[in-house]
Amino acid sequence: MHGLGDDFIIVEFDNLEENQLDYSSLAVQVCDRKFGIGADGLIIANPPEMKLIQFQMLVGEYLILTDNTKYRKLLINTLSGVILWEILDDGQIRVDMGPPILQSSNVQAEVLRTNIKIKDKEFPINLISMGNPHCVIFTKEDTDSLAIEYGPKIECHSIFPLKTNVEFVNIISNNRSKISIWERGCGITMACGTGACASVVAAVLNKLTEESVIVDLPGGQLKIDWNGCENSSVFMTGNAEFVCFQLTDLLERN
């Protein structure tokens, strides 16, 4: 499945404990686009308990999710808090992403706003966490070129002990922006939901946009809403699409 090109492999196991797989290694293998199936991440589903474990490619981190309903609304318990997922009448999905985390200890960096110098450029950066760290940079230059050239250097900068996601943002109007993403452990991606949320939080805090913003990503558009209050949730609305079904022997692969 994918959301605006941010794609995931979803694998179903009857018993997560008995198969004894190294899920972090498995994620790296199957997400490899040349030697594996190819995706930005791997999700392992355990139908009897309706638990999901999500592994980010190459990073090896995971997120435990619990399905509490099979209807049009879904409550998901994550390591970062509870997320409400809802299918709207037009088929789009609206997600309560929870409030942004603005304390420096939670964004895994020393400060929330500072400048860093990479090669020949100095960037003013905004550090936001949506449960994972994001470095948001506003610019008038071409965001795609900046993400390719400077994204990997910023991801691994010493200010980020656990690395970071990087978003380069053009402000188009007070309710629209364009971003290019360098994802931690993945590189350039077509979309990133938490990255889009972090970019709008940073834009609202810097008074660059209104509280409801259409974000243009390489894979399509997301609508992000945040009222500017630190304890208020960020809401993300967009599409998710099923791509294909495949049988494979992951036990043999691992």
Are residue 229 and residue 245 in the same domain, yes or no? no
105 within some domain: no
Are 65 and 15 members of one domain?
A: yes
User: Both 63 and 124 in a single domain?
Assistant: no
Short-list 192, 224, 209, CA closest to 4? 192
Domain co-membership, 248 together with 176: no
Give the pLDDT score at 135.
Answer: 95
- Asked if residue 164 and residue 138 are part of one domain, the reply reads yes
- The count of domains in the chain is 2
- What integer pLDDT is reported at residue 77 of this predicted model? 57
Q: What is the pLDDT of residue 248?
A: 66
Starting at the edge strand that comes first in sequence, how are the strands of the sheet with 41-46 ordered? Answer: 2-3, 6-12, 41-46, 51-56, 62-66
d(CA 35, CA 182): 22
What pLDDT, on a 0 to 100 scale, did the predictor assign at position 108?
Answer: 59
Residue span of the structural domain in which 39 resides: 2-71+241-253
Flag residues of the chain having pLDDT under 70: 1-2, 13-20, 44-82, 104-111, 247-254
Residue 24: inside a domain: yes
8 Å CB contact between 1 and 11? no
What does the angle CA 112 – CA 118 – CA 123 come to, to the nearest 5 degrees? 45
Residues 127 and 231 in one domain: yes
Confirm whether 11 is domain-assigned.
Answer: yes
Q: What is the pLDDT of residues 83-113, one digit of tens each?
A: 777 888 888 889 999 999 887 655 656 568 8
Measured distance CA(140)–CA(146) in Å, rounded: 11
- Both 166 and 218 in one domain: the answer is yes
CATH number, domain with residue 142: 3.10.310.10
